[in-house]
C-alpha cells in the first residue's frame, strides 16, 4: 500500500509498505480521509519525543471496513466508520472503571514515544481494534468525520467543566480545539463566550464559531477586559487550549472567585502557576485528556449541525501532497486550520 512515512525527523516521504495485518479483535479500514493534527506537526522535528521515526502518523481518520478479525464480525465490509485515536486495553483498573482515556496500557494511533510504535492513518489502510471503531451516520462525510477526534477533545473538556446555563466562559487559544470548544460551550449553555488569541484571523473564526467577544492579548489586558464585560467579576469558567505559562495565567486571572479553569493545551511540560491567587480565590483547576466515550455524542452534535466543522477545513488534498501541507502548517501559514489528506 501507499503510505506517508516519517523516515527521519523533518523528512516525510511517500513509500510502499505492506498492508497491516489484523488480529482477531481488529478491523482493517481503508482510509478515505485523515486530518493533520497539530501534534503531528509539532512531532515532526522530534521536539515532543512522541513521533520517533520511522512512523506513519495520522490519528484523525475515517474510512470503510475492508475486513474484520473473528471477534469483530458485527462490522461488514464496506461499512463507513471512524475510530478513536486512543487505543485502550479494556482490561486495566481504569478501563474497567470506564475511564478508558486514562488506560494504563494506552496507545495512540500514529504515535511512537519509545515504548511502542503504532502506525497511523496516513496510509491506504490502517488496522484498529474493534472496540474503538464507530459506524458513521450517513449524513457525515469522511472529511467531516476526520474531525470527530478533535470535536471529542473539546466536548470532553466542556463536559469536565462545571457550569450552569447562561454562564460566561473564556476560551484561551482559538486554534482547532479552542474553536471547537467555543461551539461546545455554546451548545452547553454558555451565553457569553470570550475568545482570546494573538492572531486576528483566528479571532475572526472564533466570532464566526459563536464567540460573543474577541480579545487579542497584544492589544489589551485580557483579564481586565473580561472583568469589564462581566460586571467586574470575571467569567464563570475558562478553557485553556494552548498549554503554556502566559495563556494559563490569563485563563486563571480571567475567571471570577470560585471559578473553574479546564486545562486542555499541552505544550510545555512545566508552567509557572500563581499559587496564592488560585488558593485565595478558590479557583478549581481541571486537566482534560483526550476523550472518554464522547464519540457517539459528537457524531450526533455534528450530524444535527449543533457543532459545525466544515468552516474549519482549510484544504482537502491527496496524501501524496502531504509533505508540502505539513511544511505549510509548520510555517504557521495564517488562516490555515485543518488540512485533510486523502489516500
Ligand atoms: Zn489530534
Ligand atoms: Zn486499560
Rounded Cα gap, residues 238 and 320, in angstroms:
39
Distance 110 CA to ligand 1 centre (A): 10
Closest CA to 288 of 128, 180, 129: 180
pLDDT attached to residue 56: 98
**Beta-bridge partner residues of 286:** 262
What gap in Å lies between CA 290 and CA 157, rounded to an integer? Answer: 8
CA distance 170 to 265: 14
Q: Report, as ranges of residue numbers, the positions in the chain whose pLDDT lies below 50.
A: none
Query: Which pLDDT score, from 0 to 100, does residue 16 have?
Result: 98
Residue 332 CA to ligand 1 center (angstroms) comes to 17
Ligand nearest to the CA of 132: 2
Which ligand minimizes its atom distance to the CA of 103? 2
Nearest CA to 341 out of 331, 329, 320, 333 is that of 320
288 CA distance to ligand 1 middle (Å)? 14
Q: Are 298 and 152 within 8 A, CB to CB?
A: yes
* pLDDT of amino acid 269: 85
Residue 20, phi then psi, degrees to nearest 5: -65, 145
- Ligand 1 center–CA 8 separation, angstroms: 20
Taking the centre of ligand 1 as the mean of its atom positions, its distance from the CA of residue 302, in whole angstroms, is: 18
Please name the residue that has the C-alpha cell 482570546: 196
Residue 94's φ and ψ, nearest 5 degrees, are -70, -40
Question: Exposed, middle or buried by CB within 10 Å (0-12, 13-18, 19+), for 336?
Answer: middle
pTM recorded for the entire structure:
0.95
Contact, 267 vs 240, CB < 8 A? no
pLDDT (0 to 100) of residue 330: 96
Confidence at residue 268, expressed as pLDDT on a 0 to 100 scale: 84
Cα of 107 to ligand 2 centre, how many Å?
Answer: 10
Distance from the alpha carbon of residue 290 to the mean position of ligand 2, in angstroms = 14
Measured in Å, residue 207 CA sits from the centre of ligand 1 at 23
Q: What pLDDT does residue 47 have?
A: 86
For β-strands 86-87 and 192-196, DSSP reports them as unpaired
The CA 149 to ligand 1 mean position distance, Å, reads 7
Q: How many residues does the chain have?
A: 343
Task: State how far the Cα of 186 lies from the Cα of 204, in Å rounded to an integer.
Answer: 17
Give the residue among 106, 125, 90 at the shortest CA–CA distance from 16: 125
Output DSSP code: residue 112. Answer: B
SS3 of 265-293: CCCCCCCCCCHHHHHHCCCEEEECCCCCC
Amino acid at each position: 500500500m501507499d503510505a506517508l512515512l516519517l523516515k527521519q525527523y523533518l523528512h516525510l516521504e511517500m513509500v510502499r509498505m505492506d498492508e497491516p495485518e489484523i488480529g482477531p479483535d481488529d478491523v482493517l479500514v481503508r482510509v478515505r480521509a485523515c486530518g493533520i493534527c497539530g501534534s503531528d506537526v509539532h512531532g515532526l522535528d522530534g521536539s515532543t519525543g512522541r513521533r520517533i521515526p520511522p512512523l506513519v502518523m495520522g490519528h484523525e481518520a475515517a474510512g470503510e471496513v475492508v475486513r474484520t478479525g473473528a471477534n469483530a464480525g458485527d462490522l461488514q465490509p464496506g461499512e463507513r466508520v471512524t475510530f478513536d485515536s486512543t487505543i485502550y486495553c479494556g482490561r486495566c483498573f481504569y478501563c474497567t472503571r470506564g475511564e478508558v482515556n486514562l488506560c494504563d496500557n494506552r496507545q495512540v494511533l500514529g504515535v511512537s514515544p519509545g515504548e511502542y510504535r503504532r502506525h497511523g492513518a496516513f496510509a491506504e489502510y490502517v488496522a484498529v481494534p474493534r472496540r474503538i471503531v464507530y459506524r458513521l451516520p450517513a449524513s457525515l462525510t469522511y472529511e467531516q468525520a476526520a474531525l470527530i477526534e478533535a470535536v471529542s477533545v473539546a466536548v470532553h473538556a466542556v463536559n469536565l467543566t462545571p457550569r450552569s446555563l447562561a454562564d460566561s466562559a473564556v476560551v484561551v487559544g482559538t486554534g482547532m480545539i479552542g474553536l471547537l470548544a467555543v461551539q461546545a460551550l455554546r451548545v452547553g449553555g454558555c451565553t457569553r463566550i470570550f475568545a482570546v488569541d494573538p492572531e486576528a484571523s483566528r479571532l475572526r473564526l472564533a466570532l464566526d464559531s459563536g464567540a460573543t467577544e474577541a480579545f487579542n492579548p497584544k492589544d489589551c489586558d485580557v483579564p481586565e477586559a473580561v472583568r469589564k464585560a462581566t460586571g467586574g467579576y470575571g467569567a464563570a469558567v475558562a478553557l485553556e487550549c494552548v498549554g503554556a505559562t502566559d495563556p494559563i495565567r490569563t485563563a486563571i486571572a480571567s475567571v471570577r472567585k470560585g471559578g473553574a479553569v479546564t486545562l486542555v493545551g499541552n505544550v510545555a511540560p512545566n508552567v509557572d502557576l500563581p499559587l496564592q491567587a488560585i488558593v485565595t480565590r478558590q479557583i478549581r483547576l481541571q486537566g482534560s485528556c483526550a476523550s472518554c466515550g464522547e464519540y457517539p455524542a459528537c457524531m450526533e452534535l455534528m450530524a444535527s449541525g449543533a457543532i459545525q466543522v466544515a468552516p474549519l477545513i482549510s484544504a482537502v488534498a491527496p496524501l501524496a501532497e502531504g509533505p508540502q501541507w505539513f511544511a505549510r502548517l509548520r510555517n504557521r501559514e495564517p488562516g490555515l486550520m485543518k488540512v485533510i489528506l486523502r489516500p
